[in-house]
Chains A and B, each alone.
Chain A
Amino acid sequence: DIQMTQSPSFLSASVGDRVTINCKASQNINKYLNWYQQKLGEAPKRLIYNTNNLQTGIPSRFSGSGSGTDYTLTISSLQPEDFATYFCLQHNSFPFTFGSGTKLEIK
């Protein structure tokens, strides 16, 4: 199985800050990497698919980049509604595997 190492686990930031979250795969996942936002009690919501494609309806302050084994989610200017938990998902090969999550908190 492909292991996904996500960092940091916790991130404290302020409204307006630029933040980055990273995922590293244990092998090449060919850009089959998605990013999700999850709020308490809700299902995950896909933000970015296949590394850098913005899901319809998601604000452009969210962006993704990467290749091979290393991938990044960037939020360019944090808004109050962005404080949540973020997960990456590799879907290059089954079983698909998630990163362990990054909890983004208000500083």
Chain B
Amino acid sequence: QVQLKESGPGLVQPSRTLSLTCTVSGFSLTSYGVSWVRQPPGKGLEWIAAIWSGGSTDYNSALKSRLSISRDTSKSQVLLKMNSLQTEDTAMYFCARGTKDWGQGVMVTVSS
């Protein structure tokens, strides 16, 4: 059974760095790509980064300078780091396998 579970700090101060973890089960990170998608409260969805089965990465061009995605295959985890956080980064952050399987998301609030 494919499962993805996001974890993170919940509340982050402006200008700080956000670190999120997606822990997966039921599949191998060397066989499937995993992406991060976010959704501000009451708004639409934005695809922000992906790490593919071979380890290559892609980023949303609008956020690329602030993002880093990586993985630890031994722990079945995909890591997302976003620096210089602003209030506009407040959102639910989801990880997804391909375009089908999604985690339940983790809410991140940027506030002092």
Q: Determine, out of B15-23, B24-32, B44-52, the stretch whose residues face the partner at the interface.
A: B44-52
Point out the residues of chain B lying under 8 angstroms from A55, CB to CB. 100
> Number of B residues contacting the other chain (C-beta, 8 Å)?
18
Known A-B contacts A94-B58, A95-B60, A95-B61; the reply to A46 vs B99 at CB < 8 A is yes
Closest Cβ of chain B to A22, distance in Å, is 16
The verdict on B73 contacting chain A, using a C-beta distance below 8 Å, is no
| A96–B60 alpha-carbon span in the complex (Å) | 8
Residues of B39-86 contacting chain A, CB below 8 A: 44-48, 50, 58-61
Say yes or no: B100 contacts A49, CB within 8 Å: yes
| A50–B94 alpha-carbon span in the complex (Å) | 21
The verdict on A1 contacting chain B, using a C-beta distance below 8 Å, is yes
Q: Which of A42, A49, A89, A96 has the most CB of B within 10 A?
A: A96
Say yes or no: B60 contacts A44, CB within 8 Å: no
| A98–B35 alpha-carbon span in the complex (Å) | 14
Point out the residues of chain B lying under 8 angstroms from A87, CB to CB. 44-45
Point out the residues of chain B lying under 8 angstroms from A95, CB to CB. 47-48, 58-61
| A91–B102 alpha-carbon span in the complex (Å) | 15
| A101–B45 alpha-carbon span in the complex (Å) | 9
The verdict on B103 contacting chain A, using a C-beta distance below 8 Å, is yes
Beyond A55-B100, A97-B47: 18 further Cβ-contacts under 8 Å? A1-B61, A42-B104, A43-B102, A43-B104, A43-B105, A46-B100, A49-B100, A87-B44, A94-B47, A94-B58, A95-B48, A95-B58, A96-B35, A96-B99, A98-B45, A98-B46, A100-B44, A101-B45
* Leading 3 A-B pairs by shortest Cβ distance: A43-B102, A96-B47, A98-B45
Chain A residues in contact with chain B, CB under 8 A?
1, 34, 42-46, 49, 55, 87, 89, 91, 94-101
